Each structure stands twice: as C-alpha cells, then as structure tokens.
Amino acid sequence: MIVEELIATLNKLPKNLTVVMPDMIPITKAVKADYGNGVVVITDAEEMTIEEFKEGLEKFTGTEQYHKLTDNFVLATDGVEYFCRNASAYWLFSDMSAFVMGNPDKHFIVATVNVKDEKCEVVYDDGDYNVLFTQHYEYTDLFEGEWQFFISNYPSEKVIMLPSEY
C-alpha cells in the first residue's frame, strides 16, 4: 500500500523537481511530500500536536549516532533528525547545511528559527548575537514558535544539534 501511495505521489509532481528520499528513513507509515527550494522530500512523518512534538524534543540531551541527511558533509544529531522527520523539515536542514558549507571560517553558529502566521525567518549568528545572515521564507508549515539549533562548523566536524545536545 505504501509503495502505491509513493508512486502515485511522485507521478503527480512537476517534472522539474528533484526528489530526495533519505535512505535512513524507512517509509512504513504515511507518505508526505514537503516542498522547499524546488526539492520534494518523501518522509514517513506522522501528524502530531505541537505539545507532542515539544515533548519529544525535550528527551534529547545528547546523541547516540549522527545522521547524514544531505549529500554534503554536515551531520545531524538524533534530536535534529527527530525535528526534521516529525516537522517535515528536511528543507530547513538542507538550507542550514548550505549556510554552514558557505561559511567555513565561522566555527560556531546559532540558527534561530522563528515561525509565525505560516511565515518563517531563520537568523544565523556567531553565538554572541552578532547576526551573520537572515533568511526569510514566505510560507512554511512548521509548528509556530522559536526553534534554535547549534552548529559546530569545524573542518573535521560539521554537526547541527539541538541546544540540549550541546
């Protein structure tokens, strides 16, 4: 059943989009298409309330493994993988990864994601509130609120993590 839903979803997509199916995500429950930057990500995220989502995030105080969610060298912790999977936010990880790769001289970066009224703003700073870059998105279906990520950006280690995993 899941395979048929996936094929039907893919057949409905415009031909000029890139389809990304992260190989570490078994598609076992429901198929969703998440549009962001011309990329379609097929995930198995289940719908949940913001309370359930936040409760899940609170459980991450470290990571047991690192996850490769894009084709570049930036890794995600367990908590960030949870965030991306359950918020259908692989596009956000991809955009944060692109910022990291484009700023090799910044060894520590804080990304603050503010979501309100289906609009999103991501502010990147150096950890001392010196803004490096701000990205605006006209539409998002992320949960409303403020979400923060710490980014270790050393040549040998590029990892995006939740503050509780630092």
CATH code for the domain in which residue 111 is found: 3.10.450.150
Q: Is residue 125 part of a domain?
A: yes
Domain membership of residue 102 (yes or no) is yes
Domains: count for the chain: 1
| Residue owning tokens 């429901």 | 30
In the three-class reduction of DSSP (H, G, I as helix; E, B as strand; rest coil), residue 92 is classed as: helix
Domain encompassing residue 55: 49-165
Query: Is residue 116 included in any domain, yes or no?
Result: yes
Q: What is the pLDDT of residues 2-33, one digit of tens each?
A: 556 766 766 676 655 555 555 444 444 334 44
Q: Confidence band (pLDDT; 50, 70, 90) for 112?
A: very high
Identify the pLDDT of residue 72.
83
| Strand partners for 37 | none
CA pseudo-torsion sign 99, 102, 106, 108: positive
Selected residue with higher pLDDT from 149 and 69? 149
Please check whether residue 13 lies inside any domain of the structure: no
Biggest CA–CA distance in the chain, Å, is 50
Would you say residue 43 lies in a domain? Answer: no
Is the backbone of residue 121 left (phi > 0), alpha (psi -120 to 50) or beta? beta
- The structure's pTM equals 0.73
